[in-house]
Structure 1
Amino acid sequence: MPVLSTPSDPADRLLGERIVLLARELDDDVAAETCARLLLLAAEDARRDITLHVLAPGGSPVAAMAVHDTIRTLGVDVATVAVGSLAGPVPFLVASGTPGKRLARAHAAFLPTADGPVRGSHPGDVRVRADHLAGRRREIESLTAAYCGAPLPDDARDRWLSAAEAVTFGIVDGLSEPRTETDS
């Protein structure tokens, strides 16, 4: 069996294929790592697409906005692929990919809310953070409406959407087709 000369961490190996994997609860550290990977790939080749595979179960609206801003300012197309169950502000990240290049796997599920954790040790800290998060929620809802072509219906935030419904609501552009035996 040949020995691979690439890094052993699968996420690092995917970078060679211009794929970034966001596969953990989205917090500030995960956002920083994701942004760094996106920036690295854009700097390496400003003409080739980057693919962001998203299978994060939810997370912080503030962290989501950091990844969003990076995606939208890279200067390269970012294809997004939704995998698994995405909740909170994470579906917004999928919607913020390059139009025409936003996909969902057939069994992806979406709960598109902008809610996230409010943390703080002092009651005043909690209020300030809650106010900040409320502003982020409004921004995320406004940007999601822009990326989807219309605001999501109110009931879209109260239930899990299937991948096909995500296409209908404009969160993604289509479903990722399964491989066939004729694919190489």
Structure 2
Amino acid sequence: MPALSTTSELADRLLGERIVLLARELDDDVAAETCARLILLAAEDPRREMTLQVLSPGGSPVAAMAVHDTIRALGVDVVTVAIGSLAGPVPFLVASGTAGKRFALPHAAFLPSADGQARGAHPGDVRVRADHLTRRREEIDTLTATYCGRALPDDARDRWLSAADAVSLGLVDHVRGSDS
């Protein structure tokens, strides 16, 4: 299979698999693009389900409602999959998929906020986001220790690690293209 050289080629390839990827902050332009892709897939085959993969830090509630209304009006099953962290009105989009076909990957996280202000506009929001990032960092540290067979040393975050350092710590197994 040839390498995909542009974002457009990647999006086209995903569309061929009936997958729409929403992986940016949701504004009117992103909503219009997402709606257009969903409508195109429904028009191509109104009986086959499609998948909306969602990884977005949040955005406009108005744009979210446009995507929601499109999903609900298509008349075709829309599988929704949450990947990564979703904030603001974006978790609502995952919930708007076809009942029984709404998924979250194991480390997906949700910070629902109907007003779209999940960016620390209120002091309480800053604390909620900081707590979330702390928990996510702890999860990453725990999983890294599992994959490496041991916890990384405390100073590992204080410096850039070379590829050889990564091998010695168990982050990777091999350095490709090296003589060793």
What TM-score comes out, normalization by structure 2 length? 0.62
Residues 1:101 and 2:97 are matched in the alignment? no
What is aligned with 1:22? 22
Q: Following superposition of structure 1 onto structure 2, how do residues 132-171 of structure 1 map, counting pairs within 5 Å?
A: 159=128
2:81 alignment partner, SS class:
strand
User: What are the ranges of 5 or more consecutive residues in structure 2 without an aligned counterpart?
Assistant: 118-126, 133-180
Aligned equivalents of 1:159, 1:81: Cα separation in 2:
23
* Residue 116 of structure 1, CA deviation: 2.5
Residues 1:55 and 2:19 are matched in the alignment? no
* Residue 12 of structure 1, CA deviation: 1.5
Amino acid at match of 2:62: V
Q: Following superposition of structure 1 onto structure 2, how do residues 102-117 of structure 1 map, counting pairs within 5 Å?
A: 102-116=102-116
Identity value in percent: 77
Aligned equivalents of 1:16, 1:55: Cα separation in 2:
20
Aligned equivalents of 1:37, 1:52: Cα separation in 2:
10
User: What are the ranges of 5 or more consecutive residues in structure 1 without an aligned counterpart?
Assistant: 118-157, 163-184
Q: Following superposition of structure 1 onto structure 2, how do residues 27-38 of structure 1 map, counting pairs within 5 Å?
A: 27-38=27-38
Rg (Cα) greater in structure? 2
Give the superposed CA RMSD.
2.5
* Residue 48 of structure 1, CA deviation: 0.3
1:52 alignment partner, SS class:
strand
What is aligned with 2:82? 82
Stretches of 4+ aligned residues off by more than 6 angstroms: none
Aligned equivalents of 1:3, 1:9: Cα separation in 2:
11
* Residue 99 of structure 1, CA deviation: 0.3
What TM-score comes out, normalization by structure 1 length? 0.61
Aligned equivalents of 1:116, 1:57: Cα separation in 2:
10
1:9 alignment partner, SS class:
helix
Amino acid at match of 2:67: V
1:97 alignment partner, SS class:
coil
Please give the per-residue CA displacement for 1:73-103, whole angstroms capped at 9, x wherever unaligned: 0010000000000000000000000000000
Aligned equivalents of 2:49, 2:96: Cα separation in 1:
14
Aligned equivalents of 1:75, 1:159: Cα separation in 2:
37
* Residue 9 of structure 1, CA deviation: 2.0
What is aligned with 2:141? none
